[in-house]
């Protein structure tokens, strides 16, 4: 009978570590700095991947936001003025 070789399991990220990561991600301005630092200095692959995905999504939404104001800026400003008038 042959025995399966078992590879040592890598230690995962703890719940408290993920809660800290999500707390940092919820703070405006600090979140982007934290994500960049996680991408550069992160020791765990899942945390690096999370930070990269968060940066990509944030960048995509920033581009969409800028494009919306470029193409529909006048209508957005007029709409906000009607909201303030009510």
In a structure prediction context, what are the per-residue pLDDT tens digits for the chain, which is 86 residues long?
556 777 777 778 899 999 999 999 999 999 999 999 999 999 999 999 999 999 999 999 999 999 999 999 999 899 999 988 87
pTM tops 0.85: no
CA 58 to chain CA centroid, Å, is 6
In the numeric block, the tokens 């581009």 are attached to: 63
CA separation for the pair 52, 34 (Å, rounded)? 11
pLDDT (0 to 100) of residue 2:
57
């Amino acid at each position: 009978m042959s025995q399966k070789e078992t590879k040592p399991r890598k230690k995962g990220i703890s719940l408290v570590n993920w809660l800290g990561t999500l707390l940092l991600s919820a703070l405006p301005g600090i979140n982007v700095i934290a994500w960049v630092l996680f991408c550069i200095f992160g020791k765990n692959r899942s945390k690096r991947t999370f930070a990269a995905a968060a940066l990509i999504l944030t960048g995509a939404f920033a581009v969409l936001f800028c494009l919306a104001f470029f193409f529909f800026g006048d209508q957005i400003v007029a709409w906000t003025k009607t909201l303030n008038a009510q």
